[in-house]
């Protein structure tokens, strides 16, 4: 109940922040905690009306600002000094308990920087820095693992590599040296290098390394994925090959410097931002979800899962299609327990029933045990309660999934109302999983040839 109350009263809470003058907001990029108890999303003041931007690659340093943006958690604004001054964008949090929030802030002539907010301590910490000096260039796309220990981000500043944690920049390793085709350096910030379970952003003893930042790769796009396991072991990213005029999707075990080479997938167009979880069965490695809206590696476009086995000298990759369809797909997301996958798609043939003929983005949730669709936003279009109502042509985008809680999964997503006054809102829905798995009566069964059970690393 408190989740729904939080969502419903968010507008009133935000309006109270600006005094008697009410300010309209639209809400973006939801992230739901593993147990479904908290939802994190971005609130942006509307100036002149907002328009849907379904492209997941819409935030670029030269054209956007976080001025006036806020991070909202469970309907309540997070008030920290940096958010108050510059706003926040692209929030993400540790999905196990939602205790650690990361976001980027800056704009208007100030480089974007990565910040961490500890909900228990009420403490905000600058992450994209070398020693006590903030990064001199843009840092974007923060990601954090399930226990809050590992923070991944990308930056154009080549001076943040500090593997010994002494606050002085070290030379970049060859595999993390930027190029014109891959100008973004992927950094891993480890808050507990000594492994004692205490996260020390400022080491109490300078002779003991407790916090370090590692440059682990380069990417062409400023958006990466990080596995939620206790070590934040795996990252996924994309690199453009100007010689072949193709994009490669790579997965890396950054601790052991093992990368998929050749890449998991190659395409003439960029892949959607991938999602990744660490797994221990049926392979020791990573489970990666991605969408390809054109043919790749001789395969058809659609929504895919790659199992990457890092126990071998050359990581083995097994590709499995989840949905080969006639639409444009985006934002694939794996649940923290790797039981379900969600994505948004304009396709009309993902499921046979109920009929999908609106041609706009809908959310689809698949059970990975059976590789069967178990829920779609088509099922809640036109329902009067709980509000807000989703019209027949309102896009639903950017899903986020909880783990299985009891016999249910919670899905949060963006809903773009297309009428003149409607603004994007965050909606939460409960997906009840029939006993024994499968699609039950929610959606007609649409099974793929093989069924697997993916088990994530614990956290």
pLDDT in tens, 137-150: 999 999 999 999 99
Structure confidence at residue 449 as a pLDDT band (50, 70, 90): very low
pLDDT at residue 353 in the model: 64
Structure confidence at residue 444 as a pLDDT band (50, 70, 90): very low
Task: Flag whether 123 is in a domain.
Answer: yes
Task: Flag whether 158 is in a domain.
Answer: yes
pLDDT at residue 82 in the model: 86
pLDDT at residue 11 in the model: 39
pLDDT at residue 399 in the model: 95
* Rg of the chain, C-alpha, whole Å: 21
pTM more than 0.75: yes
Task: Flag whether 53 is in a domain.
Answer: no
Structure confidence at residue 417 as a pLDDT band (50, 70, 90): confident
Rounded to whole angstroms, how far apart are CA atoms 207 and 225?
32
pLDDT at residue 235 in the model: 98
Task: Flag whether 327 is in a domain.
Answer: no
Q: How many domains does the chain have?
A: 1
Most confident of 74-78, 94-98, 408-412: 408-412
130 has a pLDDT exceeding 60:
yes
pLDDT at residue 459 in the model: 32
446 has a pLDDT exceeding 60:
no
Rounded to whole angstroms, how far apart are CA atoms 336 and 148?
14
49 has a pLDDT exceeding 70:
no
pLDDT at residue 247 in the model: 96
Cis peptide upstream of residue 386 (ω within 30 degrees of 0): yes
pLDDT at residue 436 in the model: 52
Summarize the confidence of residues 63-85 as an average pLDDT: 84
CA-CA distances (angstroms) from residue 123 to 8, 33, 55, 120, 186?
A: 27, 20, 33, 8, 25
pLDDT at residue 453 in the model: 36
What pairing do the DSSP bridges indicate for beta strands 316-323 and 329-334?
Answer: unpaired
203 has a pLDDT exceeding 90:
no
Tokens 């890092």, residue?
310
Domain of 98 in residue numbering reads as: 60-222
Rounded to whole angstroms, how far apart are CA atoms 181 and 218?
9
Q: What is the mean pLDDT of the chain?
A: 83
- Percentage, residues of the chain above pLDDT 90: 51
pLDDT at residue 438 in the model: 42
Question: Largest Cα–Cα distance of the chain, in whole Å?
Answer: 64
Most confident of 3-12, 70-79, 227-236, 388-397: 227-236
pLDDT at residue 18 in the model: 36
Most confident of 67-76, 82-91, 173-182: 173-182
Neighbours of 166 (CB within 10 A): 14
Identify the residue with better confidence: 444 or 64: 64
Q: What are phi and psi of 87, to 5 degrees?
A: 85, 180
pLDDT at residue 368 in the model: 92
Task: Flag whether 297 is in a domain.
Answer: no
Structure confidence at residue 412 as a pLDDT band (50, 70, 90): very high
- Percentage, residues of the chain above pLDDT 70: 81
CA-CA distances (angstroms) from residue 380 to 274, 311, 352, 415?
A: 26, 43, 16, 12
Summarize the confidence of residues 170-181 as an average pLDDT: 97
pLDDT at residue 403 in the model: 93
End-to-end alpha carbon distance in the chain: 27
Residue 141 token pair:
């796309």
Task: Flag whether 129 is in a domain.
Answer: yes
Nearest-CA neighbor of 339 among 402, 271, 296? Answer: 402
Kindly report, residue by residue over 342-358, the tens digit of the pLDDT. 999 999 888 876 667 77
Structure confidence at residue 67 as a pLDDT band (50, 70, 90): confident
Structure confidence at residue 59 as a pLDDT band (50, 70, 90): low
Task: Flag whether 214 is in a domain.
Answer: yes
Neighbours of 387 (CB within 10 A): 12
pLDDT at residue 278 in the model: 92
pLDDT at residue 160 in the model: 98
pLDDT at residue 422 in the model: 63
pLDDT at residue 420 in the model: 57
374 within 8 A of 366, measured Cβ to Cβ: yes
Three-state DSSP class for residue 12: helix
Kindly report, residue by residue over 275-319, the tens digit of the pLDDT. 999 987 778 899 999 999 999 999 999 999 999 999 988 999 999
Summarize the confidence of residues 112-134 as an average pLDDT: 92
213 within 8 A of 162, measured Cβ to Cβ: yes
Summarize the confidence of residues 256-274 as an average pLDDT: 94
58 has a pLDDT exceeding 60:
no
Structure confidence at residue 450 as a pLDDT band (50, 70, 90): very low
pLDDT at residue 200 in the model: 82
Task: Flag whether 86 is in a domain.
Answer: yes
């Amino acid at each position: 109940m408190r989740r729904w109350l939080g969502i419903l009263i968010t507008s009133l809470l935000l309006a109270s922040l600006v005094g008697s003058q009410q300010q309209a907001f639209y809400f973006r990029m939801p992230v739901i905690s593993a147990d479904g108890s908290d939802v994190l999303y971005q609130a942006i003041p509307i100036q002149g009306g907002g328009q849907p931007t379904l492209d997941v690659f819409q935030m670029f340093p030269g054209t956007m600002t976080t001025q006036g943006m806020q991070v909202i958690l469970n309907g309540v604004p997070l008030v920290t000094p940096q958010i108050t001054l510059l706003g926040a964008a692209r929030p993400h949090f540790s999905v196990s308990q939602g205790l650690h929030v990361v976001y980027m802030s800056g704009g208007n002539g100030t480089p974007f920087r990565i910040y961490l907010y500890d909900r228990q301590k009420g403490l905000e910490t600058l992450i994209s820095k070398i020693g006590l000096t903030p990064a001199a260039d843009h840092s974007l796309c923060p990601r954090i693992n399930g226990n809050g220990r590992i923070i991944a981000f990308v930056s154009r500043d080549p001076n943040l590599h500090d593997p010994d944690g002494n606050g002085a920049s070290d030379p970049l390793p060859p595999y993390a040296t930027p190029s014109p085709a891959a100008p973004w350096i992927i950094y891993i910030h480890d808050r507990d290098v000594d492994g004692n379970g205490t996260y020390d952003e400022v080491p109490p003893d300078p002779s003991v390394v407790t916090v370090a930042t590692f440059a682990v790769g380069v990417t062409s796009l400023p958006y990466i994925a990080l596995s939620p396991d206790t070590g934040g072991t795996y990252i996924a990213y994309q690199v453009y090959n100007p010689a072949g005029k193709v994009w490669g999707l790579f997965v890396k075990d950054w601790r052991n410097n093992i990368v998929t080479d050749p890449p998991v997938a190659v395409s003439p167009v960029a892949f959607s931002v991938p999602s990744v979880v660490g797994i221990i069965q049926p392979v020791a490695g990573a489970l990666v979800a991605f969408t390809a809206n054109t043919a790749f590696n001789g395969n058809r476009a659609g929504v895919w899962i790659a199992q990457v086995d890092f126990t071998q000298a050359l990581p083995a990759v097994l590709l499995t299609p989840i949905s080969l369809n006639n639409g444009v797909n985006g934002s694939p997301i794996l649940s923290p327990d790797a039981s379900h996958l969600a994505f948004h798609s304009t396709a009309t043939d993902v499921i046979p029933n109920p009929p999908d003929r609106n041609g706009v983005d809908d959310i689809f949730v698949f059970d990975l045990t059976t590789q069967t669709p178990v829920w779609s936003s088509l099922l809640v279009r036109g329902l009067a309660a709980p509000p807000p109502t989703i019209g027949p042509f309102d896009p639903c985008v950017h899903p986020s999934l909880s783990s299985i809680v009891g016999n249910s999964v919670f899905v949060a997503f963006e809903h773009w109302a297309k009428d003149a006054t409607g603004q994007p809102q965050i909606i939460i829905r409960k997906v009840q999983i029939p006993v024994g798995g499968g699609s039950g009566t929610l959606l007609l069964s649409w099974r793929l040839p093989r069924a697997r059970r993916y088990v994530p690393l614990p956290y």
